[in-house]
Amino acid sequence: MLTEIQEGKALGPVVKHITQEKINLYAEASGDFNPIHVDESFAAKTPFGGTIAHGMLNLAYVSEMMTSAFGESWLSGGKLRAKFKESARPGDTLTITGTIFCIEQKSDVSYANCNFEVRSQKDETIVTGETIVRLSSGKE
């Protein structure tokens, strides 16, 4: 976890390599077997030209970064807003980073406002978004 929560503090990086095996494992775990993720011959005939990772797999890496930075505060008071910009594909290496851009105080409770980005090794933005984490109140 972060030892100091302050504006400007960097989050991550978390680095993950996407493989078809991981996409298949994710499909099994989540039950989402959409052929665009798991059927290579189907996906090859689509505008994507091949399989793509589940958007929620990419987002899982963002949540990992947030859990590692904020621990239980993320699990019990986290908010996330994400836009999926591009698709991650097998062979991609994703780097997930973020920044605490503002700490707000509302009714004796502090909130850390963060932004995040998931980028590929080709410098494509895969996911962008913002998170808010409710930190402990002054009374706790």
132 vs 7, 39, 105, CA distance in Å? 13, 36, 12
Count of other CB atoms within 10 angstroms of residue 71: 13
β-strand partners of 103: 112
Min separation Cβ 56 and another protein, Å: 5
Residue number with CB closer to another protein (9 or 22): 22
Give the interface with another protein as residue ranges (CB under 8 A).
16, 22, 25-26, 28-32, 34, 36, 42, 46, 48, 54-57, 59-61, 63-64, 67, 72, 74-84
For residue 102, the minimal CB distance to another protein (Å) is 18
Question: 8 or 49, CB closer to another protein?
Answer: 49
CB of 72 to another protein, least distance (A): 6
Alpha carbons 99 and 12: distance in angstroms, whole number: 9
Least Cα distance to 102 among 121, 93, 115 occurs for: 115
For another protein, give the closer residue by CB, 58 or 100.
Answer: 58
